[in-house]
């Protein structure tokens, strides 16, 4: 009797837990990719990426654009 009760409870809770786990894993994967992209940009821009990002001086902006062009064109 008790075993049956636990089974029925688990069957009601299982889909909720499964959905929650999927959401958590999805968010973690997304976060991982965002961090990876930011780190890659930081690496390619010679560790001055955040400086360029926060202080958009004309020279910094041109430098950033030229780096993007170099990355895209492989020149």
Rounded CA separation 42/51 (Å): 10
Reduced to 3 states (helix: H, G, I; strand: E, B; else coil), residue 55 is coil
pLDDT, one tens digit per residue, over 45-55 is 665 555 555 55
pLDDT at position 26 over 80: yes
What does pLDDT average to over the chain? 73
pLDDT at position 57 over 60: no
pLDDT at position 36 over 60: yes
Q: What residues contact 63, with CB distance under 8 A and at least 6 apart? A: 52
């Amino acid at each position: 009797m008790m075993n049956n009760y636990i089974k029925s409870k688990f069957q009601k809770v299982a889909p909720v837990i499964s959905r929650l786990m999927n959401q958590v894993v999805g968010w973690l994967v997304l976060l991982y990719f965002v961090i990876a992209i930011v780190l890659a940009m930081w690496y390619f821009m010679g560790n001055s990426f955040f400086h360029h990002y926060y202080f958009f001086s004309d020279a910094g902006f041109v430098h950033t654009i030229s780096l993007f062009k170099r990355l895209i064109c492989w020149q």
